[in-house]
Amino acid sequence: MNGNMRPDSMERITTKALAEKFIDEQVKIVREQVGDKRVLLALSGGVDSSVVAALLIKAIGKQLYCVHVNHGLMRKNESENVIDVFGKELDANLIYIDATDRFLNLLAGVSDPERKRKIIGAEFINVFADEARKLEGVDFLAQGTIYPDILESFKKAEGKKAVKSHHNVGGLPDDLKFQLVEPIKLLFKDEVRVVGEALGLPHAMVYRQPFPGPGLGVRCLGAITRDRLNALREADAILREEFDNFGLNEKVWQYFIAIPDIKSVGVKDESRYEGWPAIIRAVNTKDAMSATIEEIPYNVLHKITARITAEVEGINRVLYDLTPKPVGTIEWE
């Protein structure tokens, strides 16, 4: 357990200089651990896996194989950003898999949130394992485990009934045996971000708000359909764009759109127009166990409503969810 415990003497990484020292140390450790072998990494584009990727590219270059699985439930342009940053700018060995059809076919008609999570988690492992089997000579698996993940796994035993099954990437099948490379496992999130910036990753990637593993799958409520999923992706992109424009991205911890599987009657071009409601969720929290609601200025809400209803096919209302956690969870599913 020792290597998994943060020593009391470990200094908090708060500056670029401290981050650079950490990076140099980890580069040495990883080179020693890995030698001339190959390393595999599931690169979602989230902060943790991105920082591990950038660190390992620095340490071992093309010995690292990054696999980005697009499950079709990513936000707008997210996979494209991963390709731009890692495939093009950092010239990594990036394997991009568009598995949209595989996921959406399995999810068709499934409305129970936990079943949706399980299908997405299991299929993610299937797709990733398929790729891993195709690569020869890979002995190591890199993971973006961070210190709160380790602390969380100690706490689980005494916990109350789980509200949701959050961790969607469980173990790989038995035939795939890897040694783990976990260079940021003793870092807290704020430290991971400082390291990410020192590694030269784009600010937007390093300060990306948390995004659940099942992605838009738990925001396209009930049984997912492609048309509603597309509407959700477009509406969510508008929300994020306007939060950026009004500087709210620095003030609100997590913000997104959810779309339920209901339609209401509206009117457009003097005709009846049935559409879905887009629900805005914008919360602040310290640990995601409880959350408060942000007071979003009225003009911002008006602008977002006007844009979404004008620009997104199929949406005819916009609602603002004022429910704190508890009693609502942050996500709707």
Q: Catalog residues that contact ligand XMP under the rule CB under 6 A.
A: 117, 163-164, 166, 168, 210, 212-214, 218, 254, 288, 325, 329-331
> Cβ of residue 330: shortest distance to ligand XMP, in angstroms?
3
In the chain, the amino acid numbered 278 is A
Instruction: Tell me if 190 sits within 8 A of 151, measured CB to CB.
Output: no
**163 versus 322: smaller Cβ distance to ligand XMP:** 163
**219 versus 228: smaller Cβ distance to ligand XMP:** 219
> Cβ of residue 218: shortest distance to ligand XMP, in angstroms?
6
- The number of CA neighbours under 13 Å toward the Cβ of 9 is 0
DSSP 173: P
Residues listed for the chain: 333
CA–CA separation, 41 and 66 (whole Å): 5
**31 versus 189: smaller Cβ distance to ligand XMP:** 189
> Cβ of residue 214: shortest distance to ligand XMP, in angstroms?
5
**33 versus 254: smaller Cβ distance to ligand XMP:** 254
Write out the two tokens for 313: 């096919």
Write out the two tokens for 277: 């409601």
**273 versus 320: smaller Cβ distance to ligand XMP:** 320
> Cβ of residue 48: shortest distance to ligand XMP, in angstroms?
11
Instruction: Tell me if 313 sits within 8 A of 257, measured CB to CB.
Output: no
Q: Number of H helices and number of E strands within the chain?
A: 10, 10
**48 versus 234: smaller Cβ distance to ligand XMP:** 48
> Cβ of residue 170: shortest distance to ligand XMP, in angstroms?
12
Cα distances (Å, whole numbers) of residue 105 to 141, 224, 332: 29, 10, 22
Instruction: Tell me if 189 sits within 8 A of 146, measured CB to CB.
Output: yes
What b/e sequence results for 174-198 when a residue is b if at least 16 CB atoms lie within 10 Å of its CB, and e otherwise? eeeeeeebbbbbbbeeebbbbbbbb
> Cβ of residue 149: shortest distance to ligand XMP, in angstroms?
11
Instruction: Tell me if 57 sits within 8 A of 41, measured CB to CB.
Output: no
> Cβ of residue 103: shortest distance to ligand XMP, in angstroms?
14
**209 versus 230: smaller Cβ distance to ligand XMP:** 209
Adjacent-strand bridge partners of 135:
none
**45 versus 314: smaller Cβ distance to ligand XMP:** 45
Residue in 27, 17, 25 with CA at minimum distance from that of residue 61:
27
> Cβ of residue 124: shortest distance to ligand XMP, in angstroms?
11
